[in-house]
Structure 1
Amino acid sequence: MKTASIPLHTRILLALFLGALAGLAVHSLAGEAQWTIWLTDNIAAPVGEIFLRLLLMTVVPLVFASIVLGVTGLGDVRNLGRVGGKTLVYFVASSAIAAALGIILVNLMDPGSSLDPLVRAALLEDFRDQASSMQAGSPGFGVDMLVNIVPRNPVEAAANMDMLAVIFFALVFGVALALIPRERAAPLIAVIESLGDVVIKIIEMVMRLAPYGVFALIFVVTSRFGWSLLAQLGVYVVLVLLGLTLHTVVTLSLLVKFFGGMKPLDFWRRSRAVIVTAFATSSSSATLPTSIAVAERELKVPPTLAGFVLPLGATMNMNGTAVYVGITVLFLAQVFGVDLTLGQQVVVAMLGVITAIGAAGVPGGSLPLIMVILASVGVPPEGIAIILGVDRILDMARTVTNVTGDLTAAVFLAHSETSRAGPTFENPAVENPASESPAPAADNPVSRQG
C-alpha cells in the first residue's frame, strides 16, 4: 500500500505512536547520553518547532478572514448579537462545568498528600529556573486584562499573537463592513475570501509534513523524560487525565446530544482528524484550520458559523484548561499544606473559567496564569515547577478537550440557528465561491472547500 493512499489522520496517528516508541527506547537505552541530547536539541526539537511555526504563522490571517467573513455572512447585524450571546453563554457554561469537575475530583482523591517530599524538592530544584522565567512575564487578572482586549495597534497585536485583541479588531471590522452599502463592501469581501483561500492552501501544504512534525514533537517529550517522571507524579497525572476524559466523553457528549441534536458516536467519529491533530500539536491555535475544515465538511456546520465560532473558541473556550487549572491549583495547595476553604475553591473555579478565556492557545499558554492564581490563594507560584516536567504530555490531552469543546459549540450554534425559521445566518448579498468548489480529497482534513 502506497503511503499517499493512507488517510492523513491515520499517518499522523502512526507517527505519534512511532515517535513515542522511539523516544521511550532512546530514553531507556541511552538515558542522558551526549548523543541523545544532541539528537533532541539539533534535529528532533527543531523539526517539531518548525512544523508548529508553519501552522501558527497561518493563524492570524485565518482568524481575521474567518471572523470577518463570518460576521458579514450573518447578514443583519442584529444576528451577530444573538449568535454572539449564545456562543458566550455556551463557552462560560461549559468551562464552569469543567472547572467544577476538576475541583470535585481533587477533593475526592486528595492527590497532593501522596507526593514524597523528597520528590517535591527534586522537582522544584530541576525546574525552578523555568518557573522563575514564566513568573516574570505572568499577566494578571482584572481591569487591565479587559482593557488589553482592545488593541492600540491591531498590527502590533497580530505580531505579538495577542489573539483576543485580533479577534476584537476582526469583529469590529466585520460589523463595519456589514453596515456599509453592499456594492461598496463586495470588492473587499472578495479580497478577504481570497485571503482565506490562500491561507487554506498554505495549510494544506503544511499538513503534508504533519507526520514528520508529530513524530519529532512526541519524540522530544518521551526521550527526555520517559516514564520516570510520570511515575513520580502518577496520582496527579491520572487525576488530570481522568478529569479530561470524563468531561470530554461524558459532558461534551451530553451537550452534543441534547443541545446539538447529534448522536455522540457520529460526532466523535467525524471529529477524529481534529482529535489527532490537537493531541499531536498541543495547540488550539495550530489545530484551528483542521477544526474549521472538519466542522464544515464532516459536521455540516455552515461556513459562516464555523468561521465565527471556532476562532473565538480557540482563544476563549478551553474546557480542558478549566479542568486542568482546578486540579493543578488544588493539588499544589495540598502539596504545600495550604488548606483552601470552600469559598477559596469557588474563587479558584471562577478564575479557572477566566483562565480558559484568557490563556493563549499555544503549548503551555495557561501556565503563567496558573501562577497568578496560586499566588492569589497563598500557594508559592514557583510551585508550578513541580508539574512542569509532565505538563507537555498533559497539555496534549487537554488540547483535545479544548478543541472538541469548540466543535460542540459550533454544532450547538448550527442546530440552534437552523431550528429557527429559515437560515438567518446566511447573507444572500455575498456569494462564497468556496461553497461551489468540488469536494476535497478524502484524506485531506484541512481543506475548507466543499
Structure 2
Amino acid sequence: MERERKISLTTKIFIALIIGVIVGLVLHPLKNNPYVEKYLLNFVFTFLGNGFVRAIRMVVVPLVLCSLVMGAAGIEDVTKLGRIGAKTLIFYLSTTAIAVVLALVGGNIINPGKGVNISDIATTVVSVDKTKPFVDILLDMIPINPIEALAKGDMLQIIVFSIILGIAMSLLGEKANEAKKLFEAGNNISLKLVEIIMLFAPLGVFGLIAKTFTTLGYIALVPLFKYFMGVVVILFIHCLVTYQSILVLFGKYNPIKFFKNFAPTMLVAFSTASSSACLPSSLKTMQENFGVSKAISSFTIPLGNTINMDGTAVMQGVATIFIAQIYGIDLTMGNYITIILTATLASIGTAGVPGVGVIMLGMVLVQVGLPLEGIGLVMGIDRFVDMFRTTVNVTGDAVCTLVIAKSEKENIK
C-alpha cells in the first residue's frame, strides 16, 4: 500500500496563487456588483488576506529580538579566531550591504511596479518618513528606551539593541547561560509560531491575490513578472560581478575554475532552496576541490550559513521598491538608507527555515512604513525566487572562504 504523497507548503502557496489569479480574473468584470464587493472583496478576501498580514506582524518583533540576540551571542568563536573572524564578518556584512544597494539601484532602473497603482485596495496606514540627515538616521538606531522600541516595532532600534545584548551575553560567557537559555527558548517558540502562521499562508495569499486581481484584472500580471525577472537579473549580477571581482582582486583565483569546481554544490542549492541542506556539500567541496583547510572552512561556511544572506537581501530590496511603486509611494533617500541598514543588520539572525524570509521582508516594510499586503503579491512566486537567492547565498560563502584562505597564505588548488 503506497503512502499518500503530501503536498508541500510551497506547492500549496503556488496553487493558492494560481487559484487567486483565476478567481480574481473571473470576478474582475463583476467587481462593481454589490454582492461581489460586499461579501467577497470586502469580507472574504479582506479577512483572509489581512488576517494573514496581521499574523505576520504579530511575530515580527519577538522573532527579530530572539533570533538576533542568539545570533550575536553565538558568535563567540570570532573572538577566539581573532583575525580570521574579523575578516569573515567584514566580508559577509559588506557584501550584504552591496547586495541591498544593487537591489535598490536595479529596482529603480527596472521599475517593476511602475504603471500600476493599487493604493485603493491597501488597508494598512502608510506613513513614509520625510528625508532625514544621515546623522539623525544613525542616532535614531540607538534606542533610548528598548521597551518602547519593542512596543512601537521600531525595527532598527530593536536590531541594534538585540545585537548589543547578544554581544554582551557572549562576552559574559557562562555567567549568561541562563539568559541564553531564555532567549533560545524564545527563539524556538518564535520559529514555531512562524511555522503555524505559514500553515495559513495559502489562504492568506489567495485572499490577497484574489482581491488584487478582482480589482485590477490582467494588468496586475505585468508588475509581478517584472519583479521576478528583476530579482533574478540582480542576483546574477551580484554573483557574477560582485563575487567574482572580489575573488579575482583579493583571492587571485580564476572565476571559471571556481564555477567548475563549485558547480555541483550550486546545483544542490538551486534544487533544494536550502542553505542548511548545502552545508555538508559546501564543506566537502571547499576542502576537497579547493584544498581549503578544515580550520578555515569549518568556521567560514557555517558562519556564512547563518549570517550571509545576500540573496535574501536582494529580494528584500527589489520587493520593497516593487511594493512602494505598486502602491504609488515615493521613497526618500532616508528610506533607502534605512532599508540598507535594516536588511544588512537583520542578516545576522535570519533563520534558515521556510517562511522567515517573508517575515524579514515584513520587518523591512514595517520599518519604512509600507503596506504589508504587498507581501501577498511576491509570496506566491517566492519558491522560484528562493532557488536563485539560495544559490547566491551559498556561492558567497564559498567565495569568502577562498578569499580568507588566500589571505592566510594557504595553498589553494
User: How has the CA–CA distance of structure 1 residues 368 and 153 changed in structure 2, closer, same or farther, with 3 Å as cutoff?
Assistant: closer
- Give, in angstroms, the shift of residue 201 of structure 1: 2.0
SS of match in other structure, 2:361 = coil
Q: Is the 8 A contact 2:102 2:314 kept in 1?
A: no
Post-superposition offset of 1:355 = 4.3
Aligned residue runs from structure 1 range 142-161, under 5 A: 142-161=134-153
> Is 1:218 the equivalent of 2:209?
yes
Partner of 2:251: none
Alignment partner, residue 207 of structure 1: 198
Which residue of structure 1 lines up, in the alignment, with residue 318 of structure 2? 320
The answer to whether the 8 A contact 2:20-2:206 is kept is: yes
In structure 2, distance between residues paired with 1:63 and 1:4: 34
Deviation of 1:84 after TM superposition, in Å, equals 3.6
Query: 2:398 & 2:365 partners in 1: Cα distance?
Result: 31
Q: Shift of residue 142 of structure 1?
A: 2.3
Deviation, structure 1 residue 193: 1.5
Deviations 1:281-330 (A, max 9, x none): xxxxxxxxxxxxx43345669776555455x99789834158759x969x
Counterpart residue number, 2:100: 95
Counterpart contact for 1:154–1:165, Cα < 8 Å:
yes
**Given residue 71 of structure 2, which amino acid in structure 1 is its aligned partner?**
G
Aligned residues of 1:267 and 1:299 also touching (Cα < 8 A): no
1:16-52 deviations in Å (ceiling 9; x for gaps): 1111111111113x12212222222222112222222
| Secondary structure in structure 1 of the residue aligned to 2:174 | helix
Please name the residue that 2:411 is paired with. Answer: none
Contact 1:87 1:409 in 2 (8 A): no
How many residue pairs are counted as aligned between the two chains?
345
- Residue 411 of structure 1 corresponds to 394
Identify the residue that residue 240 of structure 2 maps to in structure 1. 254
Q: What is aligned with 1:165?
A: 157
Q: In structure 2, what is the equivalent of residue 34 of structure 1?
A: 34
CA contact (8 A) 1:23 1:221 kept: yes
Pair 1:299–1:145, CA change in 2 (3 A) = same
77 and 206 in structure 1: CA distance in 2 versus 1, 3 angstrom threshold: same
Q: Could you tell me the TM-score, scaled by structure 1's length? A: 0.59
1:296 corresponding residue in structure 2: 276
Q: Give 1:149 deviation, angstroms.
A: 0.8
**Structure 2 CA distance, aligned partners of 1:3 and 1:153?**
53
Percentage of matched positions with identical amino acids: 22
**Structure 2 CA distance, aligned partners of 1:196 and 1:317?**
24
CA contact (8 A) 1:71 1:175 kept: yes
Q: For residues 199 and 105 of structure 1, do their structure 2 counterparts lie closer, same or farther at Cα, with a shift above 3 Å needed?
A: closer
The 1:332–1:67 alpha-carbon spacing in structure 2 relative to 1, beyond 3 Å, is: closer
Secondary structure of 2:275 counterpart: helix
Displacement, 1:14? 0.8
- The CA RMSD measured in Å over matched residues stands at 4.9
Aligned pair in 2 of structure 1 residues 211, 154: CA closer, same or farther (>3 Å)?
same
Q: 1:244 aligns with which of 231, 243, 248?
A: 231
CA distance in 2, matches of 1:127, 1:41: 15
1:370-385 to structure 2, matched below 5 A, reads none
8 Å contact from structure 2 (residues 48, 207) kept in 1: yes
Cα deviation 1:218-249 (Å, max 9, x = unaligned): 1121112112577xxx6x8876654334224x
Give the Å deviation of 1:127.
5.8
| Closer/same/farther in 2, CA of residues 408 and 85 from structure 1, 3 Å limit | farther
Query: How big is each residue's C-alpha offset from its partner over 1:255-304, in whole Å with a ceiling of 9 and x where there is no partner?
Result: 79857956544333222xxxxxxxxxxxxxxxxxxxxxx43345669776
Q: Distance between the aligned counterparts of 1:40 and 1:129, measured in 2?
A: 10
TM-score (structure 2 length as normaliser): 0.64
| Residues 12-21 or 94-103, more deviating | 94-103
Q: Distance in 1 between matches of 2:189 and 2:367?
A: 33
Q: Which runs of 5+ in 2 are unaligned?
A: 248-258, 283-300, 344-359, 406-413
CA distance in 2, matches of 1:320, 1:72: 30
